[in-house]
Structures are given as C-alpha cells and as structure tokens.
Structure 1
Amino acid sequence: MTTEDFQHQVRAIKQALQRGQLSTAKSYIQDLLPLSLNEQQEAEVLYLSAVTYRLSNQHSDAFKAIDTLLSLRPDYGRGYQELAYCHEAVGDQQNAASAFFKATHFNPALISSWKKLLLIYQNHRDATAEQMASNQIAHLQSLPPPILGAYDLMYEKQFAAAEQVCRQFLAKQKHHPEAMMLLAEIGMQLKVYSDAEFLLESCVELYPDNERAALAYQNVLSKLGKFPEAVNVARQRLSKSPDSFVIKTSLAHALVGVGQLDEAIDIYHGVLEQTPDRPKVWVSLGHALKAKGDTADAVNAYEKAVGFARDYGDAYWSLANTKTYKFSDKMLKQMTEQASNDAINLDDKIHICFALGKGFEDNAQYDKAFAYYQQGNALKRSTLQFDIGKTEQALDAQQQAFSQDDFKKTQGCQAPDPIFIVGLPRAGSTLLEQILASHSNVDGTMELHDILGIASSLSHQSTPYPFNVSALSEETLAKLGEQYIQQTRAYRQGAPLFIDKMPNNFIHIGLIKKILPNAKIIDARRNPMDCCFSGFKQLFGEGQEFSYSLDDIGRYYNAYEKLMAHWHNVLPDDILTVQHEDVLEDLEGQVKRILAFCGLEFEEACLAFHKTKRIIKTPSSEQVRQPIYKTGMGQWKPFESNLEALKDALKTQ
C-alpha cells in the first residue's frame, strides 16, 4: 500500500467516526490491520482502533489496542490521551488523571488533555499546577490553528507533515514568530541545526522582546556547542529580567559549556538558597561540580535531588554515571520500586533502568543488571527514529566522496593547532585527552561541535555533503578552517595546540584534512566487545543513537572500522591509531609514541596525567583522575550469554 493510499484510508476512518458510523470504521480498520505497515502507520491504526472500540463501549478491546500501541510507541501522546478517555469511560478517575498528565508530557499541544488537567488541579486546589495549566491553555489558544496543528504533528513525530503545514503558513504570513520558532524546532528534531539556528537568530532580531524566541535561540546555540554565543544571549536576557529563575539557570548551563564553572556554581547555589526544592537544579549543580573534579560535592547534590524527587531518574543515573558511586541496598530497592511504577514518566524510567543496571552490575548480579540495561535501551530506542542502514550509507558516502587524489594538493587553513581525538564513545578517548592535556603545550577542551556544525552547513547545497567538499574553492576551504580556529578559541587557555575530543568526528576526517591539513588526528580504539558493550550500558546525554541496540552498535562498529581503513588508505601517515589496551599495558611507550606523532617533546606530567587539574565533562571524568588500572578490560565477559546479538553483528565468536 502506498503512503497516499494509506492516508486516504485513514481519512475514510476518521470521517466514519465523525459521522458515528462505527461499524464502517471498524471495517476499514480490519482492512488495514493485516497489511505490512511501518511503525508510524501501525501506531496510527492502533490509535484509531482504540478510539473506535471506546466509542462502541468495547472498553476491554480499547485497552488492549492501547497497550499494543504504547508498547510500540511509549512516547505517543495521543495514545495516552485516548487511554485517559478509556479510564474515564470506566470510572477510573485516578488513572485517567495520570494518563492525561503523560499525554501532555509527550505532546504539549493536546489542549483537550490540558483542559482535563486544569479541572483536576482545580478540584485538588493545587494553585501552582492550576496556573501552569491555565498558562499553557492560553498559549495554545493564542496560536493560529495551522500552527497548533503543526505542533501536534511534530510532537507525534510526523515531521514532514508538520514542516509542510508550517511552511504553507509562513508563505502567507512571512516572519510570523510562532511559525518561525516551530519551523526551527522541527529543524532541531530533524538535526538540521544550521537552519534552526538561522531561523531563531532571525526571529530574535525581528522580535527582540520575545523571550520564548530568545530562549529557543540560546538552546539551539547550546545544542550546537556554541556556548560562548549562548552565554552572550543569556547575559542580554538577564539584563532585561535580572530576577528570572529560567534565565539564571540557562546562563549557568551555558557557563558550564565554556568552562566557567565557578560562576555557574555560584548561580546554582544562589537559586537553590532561595528555593531548595528544585531537583533539576541540584542535578545541574552536580554536573558542574563533577566537571570541576569535586566528586563528593557532586554526589551530595545528586542525592539532594533524589531526596526532593524519589522518581527523578536523571538524579539516580547521574549517581551511577560517576562510575565510582555504589548504590546502597536501600537505594536499589527504592529505584526498583520506581522502575515498576506505572505512573512514572518514560524518561525517568529510562534513566532509572540504566542506573539499576549499573547498581546490580556492581553487586555482580549480572542477569539482573542486563535485564535493566536491556529494558532501558529498548525504551530509549523506541523514542528514536534511528535507522542503522541509513547511517551505514552515510559512512559509505564518505568513502565514495574522498580519494587519495583529493589530498595531494595542500589547501585550507594551515594552522597546526588542533589535535582531533576520534573513534567510538567509551573507547578510551578521555584517557588520551587527559594524557595530552597534561602537556605544557596542549590545551584540553571538550567534545566540540564545530566540525559537525561546518558539515551541517554544507549539507543543503545542490550537490550534497560530502560530495560537494572536493568542489570547494581554496578560498572557501581556508575560510572554513579559519572559522573553526576562531570558533574554538573561547575554549582554549593559550597553549599552542589544543584537543577536540568529539568522537563522531571520525566520520568527517576528509573534511577536516581539507580545511585543516596540518591538524593531527588520533584514532582511539578499544577491544570491540568491551567498547560496544560499554556503549550499550551508557545513557548518553544526546546523540549516539546507534548505541541503544546490540545489533545497531555492532554494525556501527563495523562501519566505523571500514571507514577508518579508508581514511588510513587515502591519508597514509596522517592518522595515529592508539589501542586502549596497549596504553594500559605500556603507558610510557604509548605516551612517547603519541607525543612524537603530535611533534611534542616528552614531559613526565603526561605519565602522571591523573594529577592534572582540569575540567572534564565526559562519563570517564572520575576514571581518568586515577592512575592507570585494568579493571575495565573484559567487563563484557560476565554478560557473554546475553550478548549473542552483538557477537553476531561483530562476527566475533
């Protein structure tokens, strides 16, 4: 069935429901159910099926359809709204309220659910929640109907349809702020970050007093790793509203991004002194303290967050993600209860599952640990629209786009400053960064987004990226290299060289060497089973969508190795591969090898890397503040019976 035929059938079902022709709607639905549908189409049919059953007073069948729907798409807002209506229909007001809340969590454009919640909050005399719901209803009612409809489509992940509605509206009402902000948000969801940034920058210029536009612009800057610009926007916002809690905390977040931790920590402390019951702020404070190296204070902040909100999953995961924290039996019991609580938010449940995996692994309860890792990964993956096949095609495209001939002529910006450490997450790159950053001539920075941003900016031309790079003029290549050097200057402390540790930059080595031919590139490698399983156990803050399935992560590792072999072939002698296990076995030998590759004299401080005081924002921050240890080797082996899918993907027996 074509997409057009499917949509025609769906419209027929909706028209039958509007006319009260329930038997006709059921007949149309029965025609669709046996067909081979994609996930979005299947979800839509299940939703319409649940609505039809409810209107027919077949509540048991309606609940079954919703259960199937939400197991397929646990973030489907309209599914929770329908679940709430079903609970109402059978007189279960408590579960109805919970479902309406989840509906608005996943789809804030569901005005009917907000109105239901407003009545519930009024009955419970919850003034704060009542005001929040009233504000949201007023905002949604103020939107032009096409924009409200487009928001609904976007939250249900129908991005193409949402974009089409939004662009049609903008064609008639050019520069409408709500439409511009929505189109930018759709761009963010589709990872077209450069378009989103341009739209929001334009919106802020056109409407300088629109606080929502300013906040959205600051958020996209942070997402792109443009933290210096985000700091500037936040300071401008704060000058207009010096008492705003939202602006203060958003400034603190941006300050952490540029490494100005003391000011950020002061802001968080100031906010919490006024109102301690802010679990999200406690977690943000913990992240800043952890990056600074104040682990004990960070743990205390995370535990404070748990104290204020027992169901706040990010607080538990943040404790686990220190990698050194051990959960007490009492805390494990508390987390287990929360994970099995039907009323808990999906995002909290995902975080708690990963934390429980770490907690039970520390207790050597490996089957139990894996069950929670597996559950957390499955739930996380269900919220993503990730296709490993498309990623494999994107990595193949890099091989097709760059040959050895492309690098025979030296072009681009000649600055020797950057040292790129690339590879897969959890491959030992933070250790290599810490070793190099201990050298007097090297600045450590963080996982910088700038190369990804430049690649994104080249993606929307008549010849798509990466195939358009070879056609760029010498002047353009040099400007792009200079742009990178300029953008990253805010993260440096004055040393001649600096590190960019964004692992995903391995995809863009061709672009890097075209715009920065003198850049050094170090490929961090680790035993594939250790590397992939460590990634599977990690809940990443953003990106790394390949890591939430054993098959996906194994295939991604294979594609990475294949692409790196290509880069070594077309750029012989320009990339240094460093095997993590070799560093653990022969630290001094590998340190000397790395420094020689970077053109640096040997310094003893690189061997005593764990004594170097610097900001580290990756999950390995506490591990690299200790001397070399080998306990991370072979951590997959106790889980071997559960890892057949990974071994099959890697072809490892």
Structure 2
Amino acid sequence: MPTTPTATQTIKHAIATGSSKQAIRLCEQALAALPSNSAPDTLGHEQTDLLYLQAVAYRLAGEPSSALSVLQRLQTIQPDYGRAYQEQAYCYRALQRPEEAAAAFYQATRFNPALLSAWQQLVEVYRAQNNKTALDIAQHQCRYLSQLPKALLGAYDLMYEGQLYKAEQVCRQFLARHKHDVEAMLLLGELGMRTKVYHDAEFLLESCVSLYPQEERALVAYQALLLKLGKYTKAVALAKRRLAAAPQHSGARHALAEGLSGIGRVEEASALYQQLLAEKPDAPAVWLSLGHVLKSAGKLAQAIDAYEQAAHYQNDCGDAYWSLANTKTYRFSPPWLEAMQQHEAHPATGLDNRIHFCFALGKAMEDAGEYSRAFDYYQRGNALKKSTLAFSISRTEDALARQQQICQASLFSSTAGAANTDPIFIVGLPRAGSTLLEQILSSHSQIDGTMELHDILGIASQLSGQAAGYPEALLHLSDEQCEALGKRYIEQTRVYRQGAPFFIDKMPNNFAHIGLIKRILPNAKIIDARREPLACCFSGYKQLFGDGQEFSYALSDIGRYYKAYVALMDHWHKVLPGQILTVKHEDVLDDLAGQVTRMLDYLGLDFEPACLNFHATKRAIKTPSSEQVRQPLYQSGRHQYKPFIPFLTPLYDALEIPSAAARRLT
C-alpha cells in the first residue's frame, strides 16, 4: 500500500510544478497545525523546513519582499541555517540589491560550507570585485564540492543544517559500499564529534590517520579531537610527529602549544605562541590562545594585552572582547563599548561573534549598573547560543534519573576496582565554587591540583557504546574490568600530576558519574561543591562556556538542571552513605577555617596554614574563576543575581520558588 505524502513532500511537489500560490497556502496550513507540545528540537526542524519552503514559494511567486519577511522569522528560530541565507541572497538579487545578496551568499557558506550554488555565486562576486584571495578560496571550494560523491555532498549538507542523524545514516551507507573511503571516514568522524559519540570519532580518525598518514585534514581533525577530549599527551605526540615532517608548520606548532598548555607546561606553550606571532603578528587566533595561556598562569596584565591585540587585528572578533570581559576584572572604555555595540548590531557580523559580543556587553552593562540593558544582552546571547544547540532538558533529566534507577546500593556491594586512594574528585555545577575548593586544597603540600580532566567522561562515553548502553553497562562490569578501568584512569591522569600523594580531578560534570567512579575507584574521595541555587544558576546563565554546559542557555533549563543535580546527589548520599562530602560555597565564605578543617578531616590530612592563604598559591588555572581565586575571599559576588530579580521569573518557576513575597526574601 503506498504511503500518504507528507505535508513537506506535497509542498515540494507544488513548488516543482510551478504552483507557488498553492505551496504558500499549504505552508500556512502546515505551520498552523504544528502541535504546541512538540519537543523543541523536533518542532524546530519542522518549522525550519516549512518556513524555508514558504520563502522559496513566495520568491517564485514574484514576492521576494514577503519571502524576506518569512526568512527573518526563520532566522530567529534557527540563526545558523545556511539555506535561509542562500534564499535570502536570491531574494535580494531579485530586488536588485547586489551588495546585500553578496553578503547573504557569504553568510550562507559560513553556516553551510556544502552549499555549492552559493559558492558559485561568490565566485562571480569576487571575480567582479577583483578579490583574488577570496576568489581562490571560493574556486577551491567549488572544485572540492564538485568532486565529492553526491551522497557525501548530501550528507555534509544535512550535517551543516543540523540533521546529524540523517547525515550519519547516509554516510554509513556510503562507507558500507566504499570501505575506508577517506572522505566518508572524515565526515563520520566529524559527525561523531558533533553527536558527542567521542569514542567512535576517535577510533575513526585514528584509523584514518593510520591509513592515510599524509592526509592533512585527517591529521588536523584527529589533533582537534584529542585536544577537545583533553588527551593532551597524545595531542603533543601527534603534533611533534607532524613537526618532524614539516618543522615550520604553523598549525602543528599551534596545536603543540595548546597540548603543552593542557599538561601544564605553560611557559613552553607561551614561547611557541610568541614564536608564531613574531613571524606573523596579525594572527588574532594565536593572540587569543596566548591570552588564555597567560591568564591560566596568572599573568593577567599580559593576557589582557594579548586579548586586546586579537581585537586590534580583527576588530569584529567577538571572542577577544568576551575574553576580556571573562577576566571578570576588565572594564571597557566608552570607545570600545560603542564599537562592540556597533559590531553586535551589524547584520554582517557572524553568529558566533555576535554571541560573544552579547555576553561581553552583558558583563559591561552589569558593571555599569545598567541591569535592564545587561539582561537584554545576556538574554539575547543565551537565546542565540541555545538556537545552535540540539539540547533537550527533558532528555537530560531522564538521563540523570536513569543513574538513580541503575545505580542502587547493591551495585556497590563489591569494592573491586583499583585500590588507589589518591584521586579527589570535586564535582557539582559550573560556577558553584569548585575552582575555589580546588585552589584551597591544592595549596596543601600533599595534594596536586590539575584541571578539569576528561578521563571519567571518556570512560563513560566508551561504556555508552556497549550493547547494554550507559549506565546499564555498570551492571555488567566484572571485578577485573572495574580494576582495569580504574588503573587506566590513574595512568592516564599521571601526566597532570607533580608528585604529591593525592591529586584533584575538578570536572564538575562528574557528579553524574559518581556510580562509575565508585565502581572503578572505590577508595576515591568525592567533594560536592554546592552553591545557593539562584546565585549558582544565574552565574551560569551569564557565562558563555567554551564547550558543553548546554543546559545553561535558558533560565528554565538551568533551573530544572539544578533540581535534577540535587536529586541525583541526594541519591548518591543514600546509596553511598558517608562517602561524599558536600561543601556549601556560602559556608566557605562565612567560615573559611572551619570548612578547610572539615575538608582536610574528610581527606584524612593534617591542617596546613597554606590552605587559608590559597590566593598566594602559584599554579595554572583554566576556569573562568581563575582570577577570582587568586584573591582573598570576598562577599561581593554572593548576591549578584539580586538586581536581576525582576527578569528571573522562569528561573524562579523552574526552581519552584512560588510567590513574589518569597522571591523578595531571596
């Protein structure tokens, strides 16, 4: 029996047969019929498809201005949808607005580099402008896309438009017919990274590098993944291997510097960045990287200079301005503020740069006491960032609840696993004070501070690839497997240590994997860094994270996530009684000595005065709180959310703080 055509198929048929008016009506009907209770990610894809088709139909019906109105609505829903910009360009061209058309074609290729027709249009634009550099890039991309197999070009298009699982299906089907095809392997590796199936991506890219050792794109992709996963030792080794073949390769030297920084060799990393800049000063990305290394090393004035140089060489580099704001101490001058506002408002500013500008401007306005304007920028930046993510708070809540269902007390009846007592895990939510606790404890002579290590997340990712899935795989681990995984963790993390008997792993997200930690490292110590919910959630909302923490870009999401975190921590305390220490940030502010003594007692260590003088401890710190923990304790950040209370209704609702009167008391 033939299936009934979907609304989208019917609309496409109407457009293909020249029935543009009918297609417009069908789009309106389908949009009106979309269920309001659909999952946000599913609803977004349906809206995107229908609005795009409606815009195409309007243009073909001779109404490009109406098409532009539809596209504006579409870009509000999904501002990184490349095809929307390509269609926008066709509309501008129909309206005899060539400069706007050229800008829109350019934006289309930035969001979707697989749009061959947009690149072809840019070839003509750059040829007319006599812009040889841009013309060479566009022609190269046209040649590359034209030689790709049709299936892989389609898969790239699907990936860039956010349809990751469809793209993966197409790519796997192609790879089944063309085993070890380099293009398919590279694409599937990138899809693995985008879907966060990192163990698959790592295996694919490592295999690709092994099969095609001279393929530069494979080397770059594998290098980037190793750095993303925090596998800095392997990243350093790969970069050195690349440099052995090409000693002056700037990309490999940059990667080597990033890897060296990751394992704490910041002076060597800084020197490498300085060499690169001596050869080519107009390199904003290198200035940014240098700034990050200097900031982590506590050289704030030099870091600020590096960030300012990045902005100097690329004045629309939003990341440079956000990096300045993210020092938490920098204050923008009026000319810089004006420039930032102009860049943020300019239609040609790229989405990623716009997001960075919004967060930087939010911080600048907050510093100036203009809280309404600050919140407008924070809200805009968060909404833009969230629109680029396929995040579902409901799925996340389900995943955290699944940990409770699987990890019952019986799971921990066996104490098999690596017997090591040296790991100290500090877990919690970001912006909850975990960096402060790490700085305090790493000031003790018996404890090494490291960084936010990815190793537990990597083991969890590996287990998720097993048939049982994760956390169900924990039920099937043998004692021998638990011991092997624990020993692997200890070996992998050894490179970050300086020789003390104990070391800290400060990955906040590990709160979700305490069951795994206690299965493979039963003697590990775990400290839960807890902060008052409103302060913690709003601080996270104001923060633009480098990666992850996708729950933090909507007030309702972050409130629900906080509740799910507390529920899971309550569960861990129930099934692992006495094995986790909760330390409240507010208690540390009020009674530093008492909380230091409490933590050291839990760890079985003698008190040392250096822990009270933590701000004097010299070490590399990579988190947003790096400069804050290099100062004595202060109370000014305790209630930073209070001027924003009128804007925080979704957060109050998510945290179930009910009445206006109760809110005034918080």
Q: TM-score range by the shorter chain?
A: over 0.9
* Cα distance between partner residues in 1 of 2:229 and 2:4: 37
The number of aligned residues is 650
Q: 1:101-150 CA distances to partner (integer Å, 9 max, x unpaired)?
A: 11111111111111222222222222222222222222222211111110
| Counterpart in the other structure of 2:411 | 406
Q: Which residues of 2 match residues 489-568 of structure 1 at below 5 A?
A: 489-568=494-573
* Cα distance between partner residues in 1 of 2:9 and 2:264: 53
Q: State the SS of the aligned residue for 2:184.
A: helix
Q: 1:613-632 CA distances to partner (integer Å, 9 max, x unpaired)?
A: 10000000000011111111
| Counterpart in the other structure of 2:618 | 613
| 1:648 counterpart (626, 649, 653) | 653
Task: Name the CA shift for 1:59/1:307 in 2 (closer, same or farther; >3 Å).
Answer: same
CA contact (8 A) 2:448 2:498 kept: yes
Q: State the SS of the aligned residue for 1:160.
A: helix
- Give the CA deviation at 1:20: 3.0
* Cα distance between partner residues in 2 of 1:400 and 1:504: 19
Q: Which residues of 2 match residues 179-578 of structure 1 at below 5 A?
A: 179-578=184-583
- Give the CA deviation at 1:27: 4.6
Task: Name the CA shift for 1:573/1:7 in 2 (closer, same or farther; >3 Å).
Answer: farther
- Give the CA deviation at 1:36: 1.2
- Give the CA deviation at 1:5: 7.6
- Give the CA deviation at 1:568: 0.4
- Give the CA deviation at 1:271: 1.5
Q: Which amino acid aligns with 1:465?
A: Y
Alignment of 1:80 with 2:85, yes or no, is yes
Q: Which amino acid aligns with 1:314?
A: D
* Cα distance between partner residues in 1 of 2:443 and 2:220: 37
Q: 1:350-386 CA distances to partner (integer Å, 9 max, x unpaired)?
A: 0000001100111111111111111110111111111
Q: Which amino acid aligns with 1:18?
A: A
| Counterpart in the other structure of 2:24 | 26
| Counterpart in the other structure of 2:33 | 35
Q: State the SS of the aligned residue for 2:247.
A: coil
- Give the CA deviation at 1:155: 0.4
Q: Which residues of 2 match residues 122-201 of structure 1 at below 5 A?
A: 122-201=127-206
Q: CA RMSD in A?
A: 1.4
Q: Which amino acid aligns with 1:26?
A: I
Q: State the SS of the aligned residue for 1:546.
A: helix
Q: 262-271 vs 153-162, which deviates more?
A: 262-271
| Counterpart in the other structure of 2:39 | none
Q: State the SS of the aligned residue for 2:545.
A: coil
Task: Name the CA shift for 1:199/1:603 in 2 (closer, same or farther; >3 Å).
Answer: same
Q: Which amino acid aligns with 2:507?
A: M
| Counterpart in the other structure of 1:602 | 607
* Cα distance between partner residues in 1 of 2:181 and 2:355: 37
* Cα distance between partner residues in 2 of 1:322 and 1:22: 53
Q: State the SS of the aligned residue for 1:154.
A: helix
Q: Which amino acid aligns with 2:604?
A: G
Task: Name the CA shift for 1:286/1:209 in 2 (closer, same or farther; >3 Å).
Answer: same
Q: Which residues of 2 match residues 95-134 of structure 1 at below 5 A?
A: 95-134=100-139
Q: 1:540-574 CA distances to partner (integer Å, 9 max, x unpaired)?
A: 00000000000000000000000000000111110
Q: State the SS of the aligned residue for 1:523.
A: strand
Q: State the SS of the aligned residue for 1:461.
A: coil
Task: Name the CA shift for 1:210/1:6 in 2 (closer, same or farther; >3 Å).
Answer: farther
Q: TM-score, normalised by structure 1?
A: 0.97
Q: Which amino acid aligns with 1:272?
A: L
* Cα distance between partner residues in 1 of 2:154 and 2:256: 32
Q: Which amino acid aligns with 2:317?
A: Y
- Give the CA deviation at 1:243: 2.2
Task: Name the CA shift for 1:5/1:297 in 2 (closer, same or farther; >3 Å).
Answer: farther
Task: Name the CA shift for 1:109/1:262 in 2 (closer, same or farther; >3 Å).
Answer: same
* Cα distance between partner residues in 2 of 1:66 and 1:536: 28
| Counterpart in the other structure of 2:662 | none
- Give the CA deviation at 1:31: 4.0
Q: Which amino acid aligns with 2:23?
A: A
* Cα distance between partner residues in 1 of 2:3 and 2:309: 54
Q: Where does structure 1 lack aligned partners over 5 or more consecutive residues?
A: none
- Give the CA deviation at 1:12: 3.5
Q: 1:568-593 CA distances to partner (integer Å, 9 max, x unpaired)?
A: 01111100000111111111111111
| 1:583 counterpart (585, 588, 591) | 588
* Cα distance between partner residues in 2 of 1:494 and 1:7: 66
* Cα distance between partner residues in 1 of 2:74 and 2:305: 40
* Cα distance between partner residues in 1 of 2:421 and 2:149: 52
* Cα distance between partner residues in 2 of 1:627 and 1:591: 14
* Cα distance between partner residues in 2 of 1:56 and 1:243: 56
Q: 506-515 vs 397-406, which deviates more?
A: 397-406
Q: State the SS of the aligned residue for 2:472.
A: coil
Task: Name the CA shift for 1:643/1:142 in 2 (closer, same or farther; >3 Å).
Answer: same
Q: 398-407 vs 236-245, which deviates more?
A: 236-245
* Cα distance between partner residues in 2 of 1:41 and 1:250: 40
Task: Name the CA shift for 1:488/1:333 in 2 (closer, same or farther; >3 Å).
Answer: same
| 1:12 counterpart (7, 10, 13) | 10
* Cα distance between partner residues in 1 of 2:610 and 2:464: 42
Q: Which amino acid aligns with 2:360?
A: A
Q: 1:271-329 CA distances to partner (integer Å, 9 max, x unpaired)?
A: 11122111121111100110111100000011111112221100000000001111112
* Cα distance between partner residues in 2 of 1:554 and 1:26: 40
- Give the CA deviation at 1:33: 2.4
Q: 275-284 vs 128-137, which deviates more?
A: 128-137
* Cα distance between partner residues in 2 of 1:136 and 1:495: 52
Q: State the SS of the aligned residue for 1:577.
A: strand
Q: TM-score, normalised by structure 2?
A: 0.96
Q: 565-574 vs 326-335, which deviates more?
A: 326-335
* Cα distance between partner residues in 2 of 1:576 and 1:33: 51
Q: State the SS of the aligned residue for 1:458.
A: helix
Q: 20-29 vs 420-429, which deviates more?
A: 20-29
| Counterpart in the other structure of 2:663 | none
CA contact (8 A) 2:65 2:91 kept: no
Q: State the SS of the aligned residue for 2:310.
A: helix
Q: 139-148 vs 371-380, which deviates more?
A: 139-148
* Cα distance between partner residues in 2 of 1:295 and 1:596: 34
| Counterpart in the other structure of 1:639 | 644
